Structures are given as C-alpha cells and as structure tokens.
C-alpha cells in the first residue's frame, strides 16, 4: 500500500515538472514572438543602416583627358549630399545628368552616348579648351541641355581661377626678385602669334624659357612657383585669343608665384571683369614689342612704380585652390539642385565662338 502511494507521489511530481517545462517553453516562445515584432519606434536607440538612394545620379561619360581622380568627394563649399557621381554607363537610364567632356568625344559621333535617352535627362557639355582647340562642335547640335566652361555666360561657370576678398586689409610681401622675365610654354608653334611676339621681344630684353619642348630650361611642377617667384614679370601668353579664355598661366603661374603678369589674350576690358586694372600689363597697351620691353626695363629700375602692381593684394588674393577635376564636377551637383530650365541648345558652335 505504501509503495503505491510513493509511486503516485512520484507521478504527480513528474507531471508537475512536465507542466512547468511546457509553461516555460510557451512563455519563452511568446516573449520571442513579441520581441521579433517590436517596431523601430518601440526601440528608439536601435540604429538601422538603410541604403539611401541618391536624389541625383550624375554620370561622367568619360574621364576628362583620362585623368583619374576620386569621385563623390566634393570639398567645401560644395554640398554633394544629394548627388552620386559615377563612371558606370550601366546607370545611364537612371542618371539625372550625363557630363560629356568635349575633347574625349570630338573625334567621332560614335563616342557620344548611343543609348536611348530618358526624358528630361540633362546632357552637360563640358569644355576647358578654347574654340581654336575644340574641333567638331557640330557633333553637339540639338543634343546639349547645359554648358559648363570657362565662359562667364555658361550655364555652369567653371573658371580657371578667381579672386577672393580679404576679411580685412592685409600687407603682401613681394617675393625677393633676382631675375627679370620668365615664360613657361609646352606647345611651341613658330607660326603662332605668341611665339612670333616672343621672337621680337627677346631682341630687346632677356626672357628665360621653361617647358618640355624646344630649347628651354626644365621646370619640375614641385619647383615651378618657387622658381617663377624670383622673376619680376611672367609672360601669360594664351595659345589663342577668345572671350574669357584666361587660364592657369595667369591664375597659377603668375599670381600664385607673386610675379606681375604680362598678358596676351582677350582685350584688357575682358581681363578687368575678373582682376584689377593695375594687377597686370597687357601687350596691347604698347604699339610694339620694343616699347613693351622699354617699359619693363624702366619698371625694373623703379621699385616704387613696380610695387604699385601689387597694391590690389591688400584687398584681394587669388584663390589658392588649384583647379581640379572633382571641383568642376561638383559644380554640376550644385547646378542641378537649382533646377535649371530644361531646353536643348541648337548649336554649341554658334555660341562658343
């Protein structure tokens, strides 16, 4: 009898344990289900990485002159948070804009996009060269929606340089000068106006030539500004004469090295749209190279008059931000955010001449 009672007690204990296990498992399961269905609002401290689709996809149809540079790395003051730059042509159909660098596609119309074009996609014509060095502009007829170049009347203005105003008046120290005139040139064309002018000018004063070709002094990029800063004057002779075509020859070689530029380019009034009238010497201010040479030699002997060409630097300074490809493309992002009017330009050649 007692044995049966013991067995009964053991059965009850075993059954109780089974019930507890079942209940525990059920409660654990219900809690797990509840936790899996908790919303993000109920877990405010949880961080979820959700891929954000960019608002504007900007396709670079080619690398300009095949230069490699980092994309999606716009410096200040450009805000590119709503833009995504890519070289992947598979993204053509979703791109808000396609940037076409002229010199990379000017040999054949087959180098332009041949894919069916999505509605209202902007094709942006990008060019840093002058009309004289921009062949086959007719390829762009009735294709381009926005222009980007050094021309001030471009839809996207991309100058070679610019002046910035000081917050307060500053004193500029003129670099020590030990030499007179320098000129760095890489494209030597004996029939060009600038070479012909130099050939006459050198008869009246000494000009030190730097560059890659012809018979001039080698000049490493890392030493360029330090070397040119020793000269009082620098010949900023452009390879062709066109409106607003004022290149790094002025902004970098002359201004950043602290020399006085002697310019050959568009008319004086065009230069004065961007730089002070007393910051440069224009070859057209003189009837001949001989008289220009006489003026430079006179300035060389008159420190006070020479220093007047630096008075503007108490108020302004040339930008120290060297021209870079990524900056040019960052301008595209800014322009798209400003919602430019969508229209097609009948002829780039007619405008860019």
Catalytic positions, please?
129
What does the alpha-carbon distance between residue 189 and residue 39 come to, in Å, rounded to a whole number?
Answer: 72
**77 cis-preceded (ω within 30 degrees of 0):** yes
- Cα distance between residue 259 and residue 210, in whole Å: 15
Answer yes or no: are the C-beta atoms of 110 and 90 closer than 8 Å: no
Question: CB 313: neighbour CB atoms within 10 A?
Answer: 20
Cβ neighbours of residue 118 closer than 8 Å, sequence gap 6 or more: 93, 94, 95
**How does 84-117 read in b/e, with b if 16+ C-beta sit within 10 Å?**
bbbeeeeebeebbbbbbbbbbbbeeeeebbeeee
Q: What angle do CA 189, 283, 292 make, to 5 degrees?
A: 105
Q: How far is CA 91 from CA 56, 116, 272, in A?
A: 12, 13, 43
Name the nearest CA neighbour of 262 among 297, 303, 221, 227.
Answer: 297
Contacts for 318 with CB less than 8 Å, ≥ 6 apart: 161, 162, 163, 164, 251, 255, 256
């Amino acid at each position: 009898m007692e044995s049966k009672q013991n067995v009964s007690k053991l059965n009850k204990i075993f059954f109780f344990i089974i019930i507890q296990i079942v209940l525990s498992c059920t409660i654990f399961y219900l809690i797990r289900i509840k936790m899996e269905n908790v919303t993000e609002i109920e877990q405010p401290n949880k961080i979820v990485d959700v891929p954000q689709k960019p608002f504007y996809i900007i396709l670079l149809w080619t690398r300009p002159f095949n230069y490699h540079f980092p994309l999606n790395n716009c410096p200040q003051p450009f805000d590119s948070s709503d833009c995504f730059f890519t070289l992947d042509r598979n993204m053509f159909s979703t791109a808000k804009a396609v940037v076409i660098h002229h010199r990379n596609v000017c040999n054949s119309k087959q180098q332009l996009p041949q894919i069916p074009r999505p509605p209202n996609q902007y094709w942006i014509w990008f060019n840093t060269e002058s009309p004289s060095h921009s062949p086959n502009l007719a390829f762009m007829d009735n294709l381009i929606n926005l222009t980007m170049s050094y021309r001030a009347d471009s839809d996207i203005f991309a100058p070679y340089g610019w002046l910035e105003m000081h917050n307060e008046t500053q004193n500029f120290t003129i670099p020590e000068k030990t030499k007179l005139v320098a000129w760095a040139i890489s494209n030597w064309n004996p029939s060009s106006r600038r070479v012909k002018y130099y050939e006459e000018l050198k008869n009246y004063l000494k000009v030190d030539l730097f560059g890659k070709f012809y018979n001039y002094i080698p000049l490493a990029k890392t030493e360029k500004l330090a070397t040119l800063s020793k000269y009082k004057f620098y010949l900023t002779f452009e390879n062709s004469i066109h409106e607003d075509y004022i290149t790094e020859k002025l902004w970098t070689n002359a201004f950043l090295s602290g020399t006085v530029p002697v310019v050959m380019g568009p008319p004086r009034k065009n230069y004065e749209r961007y730089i002070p009238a007393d910051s440069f010497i224009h070859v057209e201010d003189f009837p001949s190279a001989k008289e220009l040479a006489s003026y430079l030699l006179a300035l060389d002997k008159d420190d006070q008059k020479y220093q007047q060409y630096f008075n503007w630097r108490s108020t302004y300074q040339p930008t120290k931000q060297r021209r870079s490809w990524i900056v040019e493309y960052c301008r595209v992002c800014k322009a798209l955010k400003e919602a430019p009017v969508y229209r097609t330009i009948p002829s780039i050649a007619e405008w860019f001449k």
